[in-house]
Structure 1
Amino acid sequence: MDPGTVIAIVSAAAEAFDKVKKLFGSKPKIGDPIAELKPYLNAIVQGMETLRQQNIEIYEKLSKLPLIIEGIVADQLDAKALDKAYQDLELLRTLFDQLGEETKFDVVSSEGFLRLMENLNHIFRNDPRVGSLGPLLMYMDFVDLATKQQPDIRTALKIIIKAREDRLGALKDIFIDQYKPSFINIQAMLQTQFFASSNIETLGSIHELKWVVAADRTIVETYYVSHREEVVQEDCCRTRYVTVTETRQRDVPDQAFASARAVAVGNLEKLLPAISITEDAIGAVQSDLAQLRWYSNQMLASDKALGHPASFLFDPSDEEKLDKGMLLPFMPRAGNCYSH
């Protein structure tokens, strides 16, 4: 089997994420009260974390991904800057959570919009972790709601997603380049005399690989048996003895073959952990890619944007902030004086 076929099967399986689609299927309308927005955003994080926990072993094995990603990005990964971006987004969510439950969410200020977009862009471009889409997509949805689903902003959000797609696509290519020669090497090993059969030509994942080792062999061994024979000479009264050596043959276990077979099996087993995690990595990256593309094409479709064409951005005066008790950067709706 061509290794590309296995990769295609793994990639196809990674795109089955109906649970993720259901999480976003209950997306509230921008005019809904805070009481409906908060549970929705929290459900996304909780739901995605549940899915992540189901694949926790894979994600733990991929803990060294930052080292790999550093090889395909221009700038050195700045963990502190990444943490700061997450903290700032979480702070904005905290401010959002402080709005009253019955508040009609209206608009985000210019300052708040810039903070949201800058931090979101930084995270999507620089977070090296595969399987971290729970908070990422929640924040993406948060920004979409905070900016009232404006078509032009959705276009900007899709550009942010595309940057992460490009990074993940490059990472997937690296893993595929690692996977193919290892798979071909395993194929070649299984075709040697040390293996009787395998399912390498029909499997859909390297985790399904099974094989039967070649049966024990025997070789013909030549050995010698000596015994004494009495020799009687007619013209002599004495008896003498001579040693007679006979050459014989027998079948014995082929120890050299058995030793070489054990080495071959051992070498194969040593290759499997590395190629297995590489395959898992391809699946995990492909899953993230598929979710990002689905979210971008479906949840951020410009023709499905519900925002009013009027601008959602404004900077209220200090007096208005004080008078209304507004918590920047999020503004509760105040009558009809703001955009709908």
Structure 2
Amino acid sequence: MLTANPQAVKNITCIGAGPIGGGWSAHYLARGYNVTTYLHDTAEIDGLHRLLETAWLSLTEMGLAPGASLDNLEWTTSLEDAVADAEFIQESIPEALELKQNLYQKLGDIVDPNVVIASSTSGLSMTDIQSHCRTPQRTLVAHPFNPPYLLPLVEMVGGEKTSRETVAWTERFYKAAGKAPLVMNKEVPGFIATRLQEAIWREALHMVANGEATVEQIDHAVVNGPGPRWALMGPCEIFHVGGGEGGMAYCLNQFGAALKLPWSRLVAPELTPELRDAMVDGCAEMCAGADFSSLSRKLNRGLVEIAQIKSRLANAQRSGADKSL
């Protein structure tokens, strides 16, 4: 039996302190949780503090939960100490299957079996990760988008031995924690959002490799074209709106034949040294020497403003619906 009430959780353990693990720590701290972060090495602490300081600027602007404070963070290099009081565990260690399997095998032995363990993996299956775990029924994938403290999506899917109770409980927990969980129907490599993102990424690489577009042109096209629409609607709804009164049916009837045209190439191109250099040099030129911190602040400011705009639109829509009642 899992912890009875996911809304009563107060103590979170984050395993890993990189961009994802540290980002999760920032999110949970901003929501008023007590967070214990497990570090593989004490050398990671400075990087974690820098990430939290950068994140806190945007999180403060977004609005902190009552009691939220960076002082609610503890860190340790002892895995046993890190999970001792955990009521929920968010794992974000490197994407190496054997590494994760060994960790879950150990967690299965030292963590209360009623505590859910969620993996931030972006591509590995929970069926594989949980294969050596003594208590696999309480483990599942909970894949965030970066930065986890600003983007609400969490793609959730269990493995073959994950219980339905675990998935349902964790969905309620993430909603209480201010996230937008998406429970998948089945395990699929890359989940949903990453697969869609990967399709665009592969096409971008093809265009650079073939001299059809530069890095800057590709980003210019997305930022000034579909990007702003995607912040408000997904591709299916956009096509539905694009069909006017006829909706999606009009779009499919009008443009369905174009699906057979060679407009995209889903097979990944060979990452030759030349293509790698073109991508690296193109990004360096496009970003004009800006460092990671300044780029992160730029991205975060934009994401905060988009989130605030979406919130205002949602509130206005609810207000209009209330007035019509």
Higher relative contact order (CA 8 A, sep 6+): 1
**Which protein is bigger by CA-based radius of gyration?**
1
TM over 0.5: no
For the aligned pair, the TM-score class normalised by the smaller chain equals under 0.3
* TM-score, scaled to structure 1: 0.21
